Amino acid sequence: MSAKPTSITYQDPEKWEQNREKVYEILEQDTGRREYPETRSLPPILIGVELTEDTIGKLRALDGVVVRIQDD
């Protein structure tokens, strides 16, 4: 499966608090990395994340997590 460039954010700061550790766990399991560049805003936006469709689906299944696929 080919990876797609994405950004990950949250609907609001509360959803970030609830889901951030699970997001980091999924990223680490599926990509081997836990840390990615992210904005300092609340909620933060993780950028430059290359994800497979499977990983995108896992993240989107979390309440309040927003994954956007970047267009070329």
**43: CB partners within 8 A, 6+ apart:** 9, 10, 11, 12, 13, 15, 16
Where are the domains positioned within the chain? 4-69
Query: pLDDT per residue over 4-39, tens digit each?
Result: 999 999 999 999 999 999 999 999 999 999 999 999
Specify the CATH class of 4-69 in words.
alpha beta
Helix residue ranges, H only, 1-72: 13-31, 53-60
pLDDT at 71: 78
